[in-house]
C-alpha cells in the first residue's frame, strides 16, 4: 500500500482547526485557574448562551460518549429507558456507556427510514412496554445530524417534541454533528433546540475542529442540578479544563464553527456530484450534511483501499460511508473521483 489517505474516513481524522489551535496557543501563554474556574471556560459558556440565545447551563467533558451517557444519566433513574434509533451512536457505538452511566437504564432501539426516528415505530415500542414490568420510558433521543448523514427538519423535530411532551418524555439531542445540521438547515440554533423543547444537547466540537472536548448544554437550568458532581465522579472533570475550553472558544468566536460545518457540507455536495458523474455507485441515503453513504461493489472497495483510501463499511452487506470534514480539500475530492473513474 503506497499511501494512507484518511481524509474521507471520518471527520475525526481531520486536524485541529487553525482558530482552535490559535486559541489553544493563547491559553498556553499563561497560568490560569484549574477545574473550569478559568476565563476560557467562562468565555465558552458565554458564547454558547449567545449562540443559543438563552441562559443555559454548559459543561465540558472529554468526549461524546461521556457527554451522551452523563446527559442521559442526569435524566434517568436505573429503572427508566431511553428511546433511540437502532443506528444511533448511543445504541451502536458507545459500548453500553449510557446504560452503565445510568446505572442500568435500558435503551429501546427503534427503526426509522434514513436514520431518523419514525414516530409510529416509537409508539409501537411504547405500547410493548408493560407497566411496572418493563423499564419506564423516560427519554426520547435523536441525533442531529443523524448517523446516516440525514438532517431532521424543524417540522420533524417539532412533531417528535410534541410526541415526547405528550408522553412526559425528556428530549435529548446527540449533536456530535449539530454544526453540520445548522449549516444544512440555515436556521438559528434555538429554532431546533430549546424552542422545540429539547431539554439537553450534546454539542460536538471534535468533528468540527477541536482536538477533544464536547459540550453538554442543559436548556432548563434545573435539570443540571448536581451535574458537576456526576461529571466529576465519572472522571470527566478536566483539571486543566482551559485546554478543552480554549479550542471551543476559537470555534465559537466569529462563526468559525458554522464556516467549518458549511465547508464540510459543501464538500459532501461536491463529492456527491462527482460520484454521480462517474456512476456505478448508488447513494444509500439522502446526503444532507457532510456524510455520503454508498452501495459499493466489494471489488471497487478493495481497489480503493489498495490505493490508500480508508473508509468504513457501515451497514451490511454493502453500504460504505465517506465523510467530509472541515479540512477536506477540493483536490482530495478530485483525486478520489479520479480513482473512482479509473477503477470503474
* Binding footprint of ligand PLP on the chain (CB under 6 A): 63-65, 89, 143, 147, 174, 176, 206-207
Query: Which helix (H) or strand (E) segment is 320 a member of?
Result: strand 319-323
Q: Which of 96, 193, 89 is nearest to 147 (CA)?
A: 89
**Host H or E run for residue 304:** helix 298-306
Would you state the cell numbers that stand for residue 168, as one nine-digit string? 412526559
Closest approach of ligand PLP to the CB of residue 97, in Å: 8
Distance in Å, CB of 296 to ligand PLP, minimum = 21
- 125: nearest Cα among 108, 141, 105, 142: 108
Closer to ligand PLP at the Cβ: 174 or 199? Answer: 174
Cβ closest to ligand PLP, residue 176 vs residue 185: 176
Which of helix, strand or coil describes residue 38?
Answer: coil
Q: Provide the minimum distance between the beta carbon of 272 and ligand PLP in the complex, in angstroms, as a whole number.
A: 19
Q: Give whichever of 73 and 340 is closer to ligand PLP, judged by the CB atom.
A: 73
CA distance 318 to 206: 28
Q: Ramachandran region of residue 36, left (φ > 0), alpha (ψ -120 to 50) or beta?
A: left
Between residues 64 and 250, which has the closer beta carbon with respect to ligand PLP? 64
Q: How far is the CB of 63 from ligand PLP (least distance, A)?
A: 3
Q: Toward ligand PLP, which CB reaches closer, 80 or 85?
A: 85
- Residue whose CB is nearest to ligand PLP in the complex, by number: 64
Q: How far is the CB of 300 from ligand PLP (least distance, A)?
A: 25
CB nearer to ligand PLP: give 91 or 272. 91
When the beta carbons of 17 and 65 are compared against ligand PLP, the nearer one is: 65
DSSP state of 219: S
Place of cell 461536491: 270
Torsion of CA 336, 339, 343, 344, to 10 degrees: 50
Q: Which is nearer to ligand PLP, 16 or 176 (CB)?
A: 176
Q: How far is the CB of 127 from ligand PLP (least distance, A)?
A: 27
Cell of 86: 437502532
Cβ partners under 8 Å of residue 85, min gap 6: 91, 109, 110, 111, 112, 115, 116, 117, 141, 142, 143, 146, 147
Phi, psi of 43 (to 5 degrees): -60, -45
- How far is CA 23 from its chain centroid? 23
Instruction: Choose between 32 and 199: whose C-beta lies nearer to ligand PLP.
Output: 199
Angle at 304 between CA 298 and CA 310, to 5 degrees: 100
Give min distance, CB of 72 to ligand PLP, in A: 12
Q: Nearest approach, Cβ of 154 to ligand PLP (angstroms)?
A: 20
Helix spans in the chain (H): 18-27, 39-52, 64-75, 89-92, 97-102, 119-128, 154-166, 178-185, 227-233, 242-252, 256-278, 298-306, 330-343
Least distance (Å) from ligand PLP to the CB of residue 207?
A: 6
Amino acid at each position: 500500500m503506497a499511501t494512507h489517505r484518511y481524509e474521507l474516513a471520518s471527520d475525526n481524522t481531520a486536524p485541529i482547526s487553525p482558530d482552535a489551535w490559535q486559541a489553544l496557543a493563547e491559553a498556553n501563554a499563561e497560568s490560569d485557574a484549574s477545574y473550569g474556574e478559568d476565563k476560557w471556560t467562562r468565555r465558552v459558556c458565554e458564547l454558547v448562551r449567545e449562540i443559543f440565545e438563552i441562559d443555559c447551563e454548559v459543561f465540558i467533558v472529554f468526549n461524546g460518549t461521556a457527554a451522551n451517557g452523563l446527559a442521559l444519566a442526569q435524566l434517568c433513574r436505573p429503572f427508566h429507558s431511553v428511546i433511540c434509533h437502532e443506528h444511533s451512536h448511543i445504541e451502536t457505538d458507545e459500548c453500553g456507556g449510557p446504560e452503565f452511566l445510568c446505572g442500568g437504564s435500558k435503551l429501546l432501539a427503534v427503526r426509522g427510514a434514513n436514520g431518523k426516528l419514525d414516530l409510529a415505530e416509537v409508539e409501537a415500542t411504547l405500547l410493548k412496554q408493560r407497566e411496572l414490568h418493563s423499564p419506564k420510558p423516560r427519554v426520547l433521543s435523536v441525533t442531529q445530524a443523524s448517523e446516516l448523514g440525514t438532517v431532521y427538519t424543524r417540522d420533524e423535530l417539532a412533531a417528535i417534541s410534541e410526541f415526547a411532551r405528550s408522553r412526559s418524555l425528556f428530549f435529548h439531542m446527540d449533536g456530535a454533528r449539530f454544526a453540520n445540521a445548522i449549516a444544512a438547515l440555515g436556521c438559528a440554533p434555538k429554532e431546533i433546540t430549546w424552542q422545540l423543547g429539547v431539554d439537553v444537547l450534546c454539542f460536538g466540537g471534535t468533528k468540527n475542529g477541536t482536538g477533544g472536548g464536547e459540550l453538554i448544554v442543559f436548556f432548563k437550568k434545573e435539570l443540571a442540578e448536581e451535574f458537576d458532581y456526576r461529571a466529576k465522579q465519572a472522571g470527566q472533570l478536566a483539571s486543566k479544563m482551559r485546554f478543552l475550553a480554549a479550542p471551543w472558544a476559537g470555534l465559537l468566536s466569529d462563526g468559525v464553527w458554522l464556516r467549518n460545518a458549511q465547508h464540510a457540507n459543501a464538500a459532501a455536495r461536491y463529492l456527491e456530484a462527482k460520484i454521480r458523474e462517474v456512476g456505478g455507485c448508488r447513494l444509500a441515503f439522502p446526503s444532507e450534511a457532510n456524510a455520503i453513504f454508498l452501495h459499493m461493489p466489494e471489488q471497487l472497495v478493495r481497489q480503493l483501499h489498495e490505493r490508500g483510501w480508508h473508509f468504513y463499511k457501515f451497514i451490511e452487506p454493502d453500504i460504505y460511508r465517506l465523510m467530509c470534514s472541515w479540512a477536506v480539500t477540493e483536490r482530495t475530492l478530485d483525486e478520489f473521483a479520479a480513482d473512482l473513474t479509473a477503477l470503474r
